[in-house]
Amino acid sequence: MIYLITGNTGAGKTTYSLDLKKSVNGILFSIDHWNKTLFLDDKQETDGVDWFLERIARSDQMIQSLVLQLEEADTPAILDLGFAKRDRRERFYAFAKAHQIPYELHFLDIDKEIRKERVQQRNKEQGATYEFDVSAADFEFMETWFEPPVEDELVEATIITK
């Protein structure tokens, strides 16, 4: 089983994923943790979105190879990968279908002001789900970058609004 977790910045995807991990006894892949561990030390000020997208694409390849191993071991994979763009979600849907792995989309559809407060609090507290600061500019960029799931994606999705 693959759980695809999506929602805009500050929606609570990692916190939700950690709870889901416990309830389904799965393995969690969090893109923020991967980015911080593997890439952020190498990032230059001039590196933009394309720099991240190229590294995320490579991470997706590695994650998919690990998901196949987890499926063989009958262990759920929780993909806290943001899935900000529909085409990335579509690639994972196609991957799951090609390998006959059941999947569920979980969409955290949280109000912008609540998310903004959560991000500011996370930046300040630097608690369990903190990986790096999210600036106000980055938060606002994601407001325009994020493509919420559309009707056909939401047919059997779990939608979280709190």
Residue 25 φ then ψ, to 5°? 55, 50
Domain boundaries of the chain, sorted by first residue: 2-160
Q: pLDDT at position 44, please? A: 87
* Residue whose structure tokens are 């196609």: 94
CB 40 within 8 A of CB 30: no
> What's the pTM?
0.91
The residue that leads in pLDDT, 56 or 49, is 56
Q: Identify the band that residue 68 occupies on the pLDDT scale cut at 50, 70 and 90.
A: very high
Per residue in 74-89, pLDDT (tens digit) is 999 999 999 999 999 9
Give percent above pLDDT 70 in the chain.
100
Task: Report the range of poorest mean pLDDT among 47-61, 64-78, 138-152.
Answer: 47-61
Q: How far apart are CA 160 and CA 162, in angstroms?
A: 6
Please state which CATH number belongs to domain 2-160: 3.40.50.300
Per residue in 95-108, pLDDT (tens digit) is 999 999 999 999 99
CB 57 within 8 A of CB 109: no
The residue that leads in pLDDT, 22 or 40, is 22
pLDDT at 1 over 80: yes
Per residue in 27-40, pLDDT (tens digit) is 999 988 887 888 77
